[in-house]
């Protein structure tokens, strides 16, 4: 994720909030450094840098949780008491947020003394290094995930997370209600809390007070879980597709083939976007369902719009080759030369754009027939 976006949306936590939180899957016991429990933690990954104990401090990030395992402790044990004290003081002098000793080993006196002298929280856990790191990563990913809030509606249609955007009153909530009636699920209405997760996915969930509720003008706020059952709502979903609902405008061009690639950035992550015009008489529920089905095809490696264009191009090449063969035969038989084949028609002749009459069928222009004249 881009650093500028991460810095803008990542919350800042303290050691106390992370270590003493109930969501941590391992048990930690504090040995020293009570005064430093309010130090900040700003990185979702821990650091296990044994070289720092040898005096190589390059790459040490003080705002990451530092983990010392059996390898680091055995290295300190191999040093003389004086060298061990020097290594510990140099390590803790970096202004570390906190240090965790894994594997159930009691830290050497030099580590405890350096932690107390610098006010650095020092913890011990019975879990091995690998389990300690995994547990801390799981918690930090949740607490330090970059997040933002959006105004829109998030629905789950055939397993595809679709974010409906558009100006207020365009019909986002009504479209979501129709989708729920068809057996799909509402994730969030009005306010969507979005967070970024590695390797580059955006998840959405509702605001706590609005969970399972939807606002329909004229009806008020409805509890969809009570009205339709537990399958009508979801608490969290990855955003796979953005559908921007726009007012119908005859002067504005909308993608009619499905080959236009547009993206909507959320927390620096581009997500494919569709612009769909809205006007009375259009069945928006069916259109959103088709968008979800088409997205599933794309995941499977099928791009129907590109396949359609390839068939048109193949048709044109075949027709031009056939016309050229007829001309060559006529020249050899001496029946007179035919006019040269017409150049390939432009896409404007193959696919009609906005005109006086609207057509949803895109049919190549037919070649003039060569019937004998009397």
* Residues that are catalytic: 151, 172, 190, 256
**H helix intervals, 217-256:** 224-228
Closest to 44 (Cα-Cα) out of 83, 87, 1:
1
Q: How far apart are CA 267 and CA 280, in angstroms?
A: 34
Residue with tokens 């969290």: 236
Q: How far apart are CA 276 and CA 178, in angstroms?
A: 17
**Cβ count within 10 A of residue 300:** 8
Residue pair 72/50 in contact (Cβ under 8 Å)? The answer is yes
Q: How far apart are CA 43 and CA 63, in angstroms?
A: 7
Q: How far apart are CA 66 and CA 63, in angstroms?
A: 9
Closest to 295 (Cα-Cα) out of 107, 96, 159, 170:
159
Q: How far apart are CA 326 and CA 330, in angstroms?
A: 6
């Amino acid at each position: 994720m881009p650093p500028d976006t991460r810095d803008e949306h990542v919350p800042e936590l303290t050691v106390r909030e992370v270590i003493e939180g109930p969501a941590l899957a391992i048990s930690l016991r504090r040995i020293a450094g009570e005064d430093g429990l309010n130090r900040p933690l700003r990185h979702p990954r821990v650091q296990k840098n044994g070289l720092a104990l040898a005096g190589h401090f390059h790459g040490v990030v003080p705002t990451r949780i530092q983990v010392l395992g059996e390898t680091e402790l055995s290295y300190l044990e191999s040093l003389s008491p004086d060298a061990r004290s020097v290594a510990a003081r140099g390590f803790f002098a970096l202004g570390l947020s906190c240090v965790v000793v894994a594997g159930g080993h009691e830290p050497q006196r030099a580590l405890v003394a350096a932690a107390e002298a610098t006010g650095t929280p020092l913890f011990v856990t019975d879990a091995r290094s690998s389990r300690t790191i995994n547990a801390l990563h799981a918690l930090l990913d949740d607490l330090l995930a970059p997040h933002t809030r959006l105004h829109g509606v998030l629905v789950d249609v055939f397993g595809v997370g679709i974010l409906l955007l558009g100006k207020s009153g365009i019909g986002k909530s009504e479209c979501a209600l129709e989708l729920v009636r068809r057996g799909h699920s509402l994730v969030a209405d009005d306010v969507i809390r979005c967070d970024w997760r590695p390797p580059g996915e955006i998840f959405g969930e509702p605001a706590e007070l609005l969970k399972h509720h939807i606002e329909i003008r004229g009806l008020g706020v409805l509890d969809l879980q009570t009205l339709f059952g537990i399958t009508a709502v979801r608490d969290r979903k990855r955003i796979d597709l953005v559908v921007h609902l726009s007012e119908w405008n005859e002067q504005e061009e909308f993608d009619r083939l499905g080959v236009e690639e547009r993206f909507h950035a959320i927390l620096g992550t581009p997500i494919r976007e569709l612009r769909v015009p809205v006007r009375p008489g259009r069945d928006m529920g069916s259109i959103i369902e088709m968008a979800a089905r088409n997205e599933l095809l794309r995941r499977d490696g099928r791009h129907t719009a590109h396949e359609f264009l390839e068939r048109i191009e193949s048709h044109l090449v075949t027709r031009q080759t056939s016309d050229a063969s007829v001309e060559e035969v006529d020249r050899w038989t001496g029946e007179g030369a035919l006019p040269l084949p017409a150049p390939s028609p432009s896409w404007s002749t193959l696919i009609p754009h906005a005109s006086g009459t609207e057509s949803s069928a895109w049919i190549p222009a037919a070649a003039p027939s060569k019937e004998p004249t009397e």
